[in-house]
Amino acid sequence: MKRENVNEIIEILKDRYDDALCALHYEKDYELMIAVRLSAQCTDARVNLVTPVLFAEYPTLEAMAGADVSRVEELVHSCGFYKHKARDIVLGCQMLLRDYGGKVPGTMEELLKIPGVGRKTANLLLGDLYRVPGSVVCDTHCIRICGRLGLTDGSKEPEKVEAQLRAILPPEESSDFCHRIVLFGRDCCTARSPQCGVCPLSHLCRHMNPEA
């Protein structure tokens, strides 16, 4: 896709979604790490119902690191895959205290050592907590929509999509762009019934203009 078209897409999304904040609710850096882990194959809305109860019972990093995993399982059960998520949450908080001075680290290499943290989570943490340029969060919305638009070659592999987007997005825009794509995927470019007739990006979309 031409550079000017990429820039136009970015500006249109900026105009439509002025606020590009993460949809997950949190106050502390480790709370975002936990919320993102819970969001795997779960809606942000559900996570935002669960985390206030979880954080109220374990209000500090130390408390979370010392939590009984079985109790955490009970509290996060409705998010699905609760056994794996509960274990990762407790082990991850223990690692923050043991290895990182009680703070979520600010490099990809360090983040990927934490239980339950993959590239998607690491990029989100880097972008939201540290505003690291070039942070690209490849969730299902991002992969689907960027393929439809023609920003990527249609690959479904997150690491390939991340690399392709990193090559075309201005680094300072990438994190906010990914948050806006999620919002766009929820209210317009949905998976089953995309609203192409009213889409502000239809004139730039490969799905609508395959010969373009």
What pLDDT band is residue 209 in, cutting at 50, 70 and 90?
A: confident
With both helix axes pointing from N to C terminus, report the angle between 82-99 and 69-76 in degrees, rounded to the nearest 10.
130
pLDDT score at 20: 85
- Residue range 159-169: mean pLDDT, rounded: 96
pLDDT score at 21: 86
Judge if pTM exceeds 0.85. yes
Set 29, 128, 139, 176: catalytic member: 139
What separation, in Å, do the N-terminal and C-terminal C-alpha atoms of the chain show? 9
Catalytic residue list contains 120: yes
Cα–Cα dist 136/128, whole Å: 11
Q: Comparing 179 with 209, which gets the higher pLDDT?
A: 179
Catalytic residue list contains 28: no
Cα–Cα dist 26/37, whole Å: 13
Contacts of 37 (CB under 8 A, 6+ apart): 85, 88, 89, 92, 116, 117, 121
**What does the mean pLDDT of the chain come to?**
95
- Residue range 167-194: mean pLDDT, rounded: 94
Amino acid at position 81, single letter: F
Per-residue pLDDT reduced to its tens digit, 105-145? 999 999 999 999 999 999 999 999 999 999 999 998 899 99
Per-residue pLDDT reduced to its tens digit, 50-70? 999 999 999 999 999 999 999
pLDDT score at 65: 98
Set 29, 85, 88, 120: catalytic member: 120
Cα–Cα dist 28/17, whole Å: 24
What pLDDT band is residue 210 in, cutting at 50, 70 and 90?
A: confident
